Amino acid sequence: MDLGFLAQYVMNGLMLGMMYALVAVGFTLFFGVLDVIKFSHGDVLTVGAFTGLATFIGLRAASIDSNALQLLAMLIASIGAMAILGAVIARAFILPLRYAPALNTLLITLMLGTVLREMVRLFYPDGANPKPFPRLLPADSVSIGNFNLRLDNAIMLTAGVLVIVGLQLLLNRTKLGLAIRAVAQDEETAKTMGVNFNLIVLITFAIGSGLAAFAGVMNGLYYNEINFGIGLYLGVVGFSAAIVGGLGNIYGAILGGFLFAALQTIGAVSLPFASAYKDVFAFGVVIAIMAWRPTGLIPEKLSERV
């Protein structure tokens, strides 16, 4: 294969991997602090993407034409709204069920995800149809042989890296991060040391949901289109990435996200009818990896779960 085409596939894989990793990290954060799987996480991403689009439409109606201001406002509105939604979900549905069987939480978050998805479809204007997403990043590109490096992709990839690095710094270098890690490690000891358990859970769910919103806006900017079902697919992929990487380990979630994207890219390159079979190939390999390493590629450490 031509090196230019290979580099193009690698770049596409990196973009997909970044989106998957952001979603997978959210699943890992939720599991780390409360041992729950929040199956509405992908649909929060959908609501975040549509919140960003609604913000853009409102700004355009107000004759605010600056791409930079529009994008900044979209990110602030989407991330902020989904952070609040994540905290509300934790307070109203997750914390009251923390002593109930795990199946109860799985079921209620699965149903909640369906409610969120259907609300977008029913109440967003013409929400059942795909929506064009604005092109707000520079459209310039640099061509090197058959490799075309788009500036918008480079910007989004860099932004994703900065978000993940920022999350790591938050968790490892701040008092808030110390409290989150303390709760994840030992809830009762953390309470004894004065940590407000409920508040930390709400903040953690807000952070994870904000990451989903960022991934939703990134998805819209990358494909220039969103629809009410994007969160269902990205939620399944993100959860699979978190599991194969090692649920409860942030580095594992990141690894799982990029691994899944790499498998899709390999499938697209090597298999006939690539668009039809790349997901089948990726999920098939993930199933094989899980059969080989049931605890994931980077098993959760009991002494430090996030």
**For residue 145, is pLDDT > 90?**
no
pLDDT of residue 306: 45
**For residue 34, is pLDDT > 60?**
yes
**For residue 270, is pLDDT > 70?**
yes
- Chain position carrying tokens 């960022």: 214
- Chain position carrying tokens 């409920």: 198
For residues 224 and 159, what is the distance between their CA atoms, to the nearest angstrom? 18
pLDDT of residue 304: 44
**What's the burial of 9, exposed, middle or buried (CB within 10 Å: 0-12/13-18/19+)?**
middle
Q: Which of 24-28, 69-73, 233-237, 281-285 has the lowest mean pLDDT?
A: 281-285
Strands 225-226 and 131-132: antiparallel
**For residue 30, is pLDDT > 70?**
yes
**What's the residue count for the chain?**
306
